[in-house]
Amino acid sequence: MPLVEAVANYHCITGENPLWNAAEGRIYWVDIETGRLFRADPASGAHECFYQGELVGGFTFQQDSSLLLFESDRIAALSAGGARRVLREGIDAAMSRFNDVIADPEGRVFAGTIGRTGENGALFRIDRDGAITLLWRGTGCANGMGFTPDLRGFYWTCSTTRRIFFADYDANTGSLRDRRLWYQAPDSEGTPDGMSVDAAGDVWTTRWDGHAMYRLSPTAQRLERIELPVAKVSSVTFGGPNLEDAYITTAGGTGTAEGGREGTLYRIAGLSRGQPEQLSQILL
């Protein structure tokens, strides 16, 4: 059984969006509802909350070292010096807020939303020039995404139906075609949430209310289940010098529900080799 280590516990209500910053050698993550952003340095063990503001559903690292924040129907930029600037708002009246986001190799961002109703959530693509395209609608909660190592395929999670879909991806245009069901999670697993695709093409997918993370093969075969000490396991990414350490966010932080462990960022060292995170290049 892999060793699950606590990195930092800020009792996050919804800890999410772990993202490895290779240039800094630090792991970043967010607590969505409180708008807090955190970072930790594995080499020294130091960690901090370095920003608190509007609700943040997800974020990417920009090529200019700023952070692109996806808030409640709003996109903002947070400079390296801590200044926040609103770039675009009033994007989709049907959304409650943005949720999971991911940058692609060309600097675009795919951004999911939570709908105001069970069918109004959507997936958008934000191009480098700031153009926003609705790709599809019809979920209550758009969630984890990832690219295959050959950059020909794209995974997308619909938490509402407990399904993970696969689509053909064109890196030149950013288009997604022929979306089809790839994995249907049984109720016993919990709700599929965030994910990461490793260098071998295996999909690591977390389970809200499932106490676990699963490793699935490219053909959707269940290969491994890793138990976490809290129920709400929200997302995962790979980091460390060789991208071999899994960083896993959790939620439900009240300080009392599960012995104070809920809302912790966890690490499993040497679990698998991940893929480098892509930088967004949105010019607004």
- By annotation, the residues acting in catalysis are 193
CA separation for the pair 54, 44 (Å, rounded): 29
Q: Do the beta carbons of residue 275 and residue 198 sit within 8 Å?
A: yes
Query: In sequence order, what are the residues at sequence separation of 6 or more whose Cβ sits closer than 8 angstroms to the Cβ of residue 273?
Result: 198, 199, 200, 238, 242, 243, 244
Q: Do the beta carbons of residue 180 and residue 165 sit within 8 Å?
A: yes
Query: In sequence order, what are the residues at sequence separation of 6 or more whose Cβ sits closer than 8 angstroms to the Cβ of residue 150?
Result: none
Query: In sequence order, what are the residues at sequence separation of 6 or more whose Cβ sits closer than 8 angstroms to the Cβ of residue 173?
Result: none
DSSP sequence for 241-268 = TTS-EEEEEEB---SSTTTT-TTEEEEE
CA proximity to 101, closest of 84, 113, 115? 113
